[in-house]
Structure 1
Amino acid sequence: MSIPKNILLYIFLFVGINTLIGQTELPNVVYINVDDLGYKDVGFMGSTYYDTPNLNTLATEGMVFTNGYAAAANCAPSRACFMTGQNTPRHGVYTVSPSARGHKKSRKLIPTKNIIHITSEIQTLAEIFKSKGYTTGTFGKWHVSNNPLRDGFDVNFGGNYKGNPGKNGYTAPYNQLPNLDIAPEGENLTDRLTSETIKFITQNKDKPFFAYIPFYTVHTPLMGKTKLVNKYKNKQGSNGQNNPVFAAMVENMDTNVGKILATLKDLGLEKNTLVVFTSDNGGIRAISNQTPLRAGKGSYYEGGTRVPLIVKYPKIIQSGLTNNTPVINLDFFPTFMEVLNINSINQDLDGVSILPLLKGKTINERPLFWHFPIYLQAYNQKEDDGRDPLFRTRPGSTVLYKNWKLHHYFEDGDLELYNLTTDLGERNDLSKVNPTKTKELYTMLKSWRIELAAEIPEELNPEFDSNYKPKKK
Structure 2
Amino acid sequence: MTKRIFWCVSFVLGLTAQADQPPNILFIYLDDFGWKDTSYMGSDFYETPNIDSLANHGMIFTDAYSTSANCAPARACLLSGQYTPRHQIYNVGTRPRGNEKHRRLEHIAGTNKLGLNIITWAECLKQAGYRTGMFGKWHLGPSPKAQGFDVAVEHNKIPGMRGHKGKNGEYLTDLLTERTLDFIGEKSNKPWCAYLSHYAVHTPIQAKNKIILKYQKKGGGELHRDPVMAAMIQSVDEGVGRLVSKLKKSGQRNNTVILFYSDNGGYGPATDMAPLYGYKGNYFEGGIRVPFFVNWPNKIKGGQKTDEPIIGVDIFPTLLDLSGVNRPDQTLDGVSLKPFLLGQVQTVGPRPLFWHFPCYLQSYDVYEEQRDPLFRTRPCSVIRFGEWKLHEYFEDGALQLYNLKEDIAEQKDLAKERPAMVSRLHKMLKDWRRDTNAIVPKALNPQFDKEAEAQAIHAARLKLRPVK
Please give the TM-score of this superposition, normalised by the length of structure 1: 0.90
**What is residue 367 of structure 1 aligned with on the other side?**
352
Match of 1:393 among 348, 361, 377: 377
Give the structure with higher Rg (CA).
Answer: 1
8 Å CA contact 1:285, 1:296 repeated in 2: yes
C-alpha distance in 2 between matches for 1:166 and 1:448: 46
Aligned 8 A contact 1:406 1:418 in 2: yes
Structure 1 residue 338, shift from structure 2 partner: 1.6
Identical pairs, percent: 45
Give the aligned partner of residue 94 of structure 1.
90
Which of 115, 136, 139 is matched with 1:140 structurally? 136
Aligned residues: 445
Alignment deviations for residues 349-380 of structure 1 (CA, whole Å, 9 cap, x no partner): 11100111101222211110000000000012
- Asked if the contact 1:138/1:156 (under 8 Å) is kept, the reply is yes
Q: Following the alignment from structure 1 to structure 2, what is the Cα–Cα distance between the partners of residues 334 and 204?
A: 28
Q: Is 1:68 matched with 2:52?
A: no
1:26 to 1:167, Cα distance in 2 relative to 1, 3 A? closer
Which structure 2 residues correspond to residues 36-185 of structure 1 after superposition, within 5 A?
36-98=32-94, 100-159=96-155, 168-173=162-167, 185=168
Whether 2:428 is the aligned partner of 1:444: answer yes
Q: Which residue does 2:301 correspond to in 1? A: 318
CA 1:298–1:339 in structure 2 vs 1: closer, same or farther (change >3 Å)?
Answer: same
Q: What is the aligned partner in structure 2 of residue 7 from structure 1?
A: none
Q: Conserved in 2, the CA contact under 8 Å of 1:403 and 1:421?
A: yes
Contact 2:84 2:356 in 1 (8 A): yes
Query: Residue 381 of structure 1: CA displacement?
Result: 4.1
Give the whole-Å Cα distance in 1 for the aligned partners of 2:179 and 2:410. 42
- In the other structure, the counterpart of 1:35 is 31
In structure 1, distance between residues paired with 2:53 and 2:188: 23
Residue 380 of structure 1: aligned partner: 365
Q: Does the aligned pair in 2 maintain the 1:241–1:289 contact within 8 Å?
A: yes
- Do the aligned partners of residues 447 and 154 (structure 1) sit closer, same or farther apart at CA in structure 2, a change above 3 Å counting? same
Report the Cα distance in structure 2 between the residues aligned to 1:53 and 1:467, rounded to whole angstroms: 52
Q: Which runs of 4+ in 1 moved over 6 A?
A: 15-18, 164-167
Tell me the SS of whatever aligns to 1:109.
coil
Q: Is the 8 A contact 2:18 2:255 kept in 1?
A: no
Residues 106, 465 of structure 1: 8 Å contact kept: yes
TM-score of the superposed pair, with normalisation by structure 2: 0.91
Following superposition, the deviation at residue 25 of structure 1 comes to 2.5
Shift of 1:274: 0.9
SS in 1 for 2:333: coil
Give the corresponding residue for 1:225: 208
Quick check: 1:99–1:376 contact (8 Å CA) kept in 2? no
Higher mean displacement: 137-146 or 396-405: 137-146
| Gap change, CA 1:110 and 1:23, over 3 Å in 2 | farther
Deviates more, 1:248-257 or 1:306-315: 306-315
Q: SS state of the match for residue 76, structure 2?
A: helix
Q: Distance in 1 between matches of 2:243 and 2:328?
A: 31
**SS across alignment from 2:434:** helix
Q: 1:101 to 1:18 in 2, by over 3 A?
A: closer
Secondary structure of 2:40's counterpart equals: helix
CA RMSD between the two structures: 2.1
**In structure 2, what is the Cα distance between the partners aligned to 1:447 and 1:389?**
31
CA contact (8 A) 1:331 1:350 kept: yes
- What secondary structure does 1:203 align onto? coil
CA 195–416 in structure 1, closer or farther in 2 if over 3 Å, else same: same
8 A contact 1:148–1:159 mirrored in 2: no
Q: Aligned to 1:114, what secondary structure does the other structure show?
A: coil
Question: C-alpha separation between the residues in 2 aligned to 1:350 and 1:302?
Answer: 21
Unaligned runs of 5+ in 2: 1-10, 464-468
Distance 1:322 1:205, change over 3 A: farther
